[in-house]
Structure 1
Amino acid sequence: MNPLLRDELAAIISEASPSAIWAVSTDDLPAPLDASPRARKMRAIVRIADSRGWRSAIVHFLDLKGVSHMTELTPPQLDDLLERMNGYVDAAETGCSLADCPPAH
């Protein structure tokens, strides 16, 4: 480490009170993340939709199931939605399209 930088850093630390060094506002911290399998599946679904611009696929699925939010889906329905989204990604990446349509992106 550069000796001048080390001396400057030491001076800054010695001038600050110990409580000021460790003071962190809880407003700056992200909320605790739900790490349940269900929450991870929902985040995976949203991540796919956001990365590909496919939010309408989620809305279409929710309409088919007669619910207004993913939290209202049953576990098998949520699994089905995640499987569908992964299938859409696979189809897009392998270029699966109808014969009379341009290739998928």
Structure 2
Amino acid sequence: MSQRDDTAKQWQITANNLPLNISSGTVTAVIKRDTSIDDDDPTVIQRSEGSGLTIVDAATGKVEIVIPTSVTQYPSSWFYKIDLEIDGRTETVIDGWIQIADT
């Protein structure tokens, strides 16, 4: 991702390498500078359906997350994770690092 981009990125939630139907669940995401920062810290960017997170196709587990310019303002790395809550259980289903390249 390039510096100063204001963009959205899509991910697909899977189980055993197969698309996962997420229609009966709740998807949330966080973007933060480091894994050591608590998810409820005020510096963490929270995403939920209708607030920076869109369910693109629930049947195939596709979601889109808006990545704000505050993340891409400077060359850096940001940790993200996507959580899925189904039947009262919450699990991190995707996580990784967003790399912001100097432009």
Q: What TM-score do you get using the length of structure 1 for normalisation?
A: 0.24
Which protein has the larger Cα radius of gyration, Structure 1 or Structure 2?
Answer: 1
Q: What TM-score do you get using the length of structure 2 for normalisation?
A: 0.24
- Point out the structure with the larger strand share: 2
Q: Which has the higher contact order (CA 8 A, sep 6+)?
A: 2
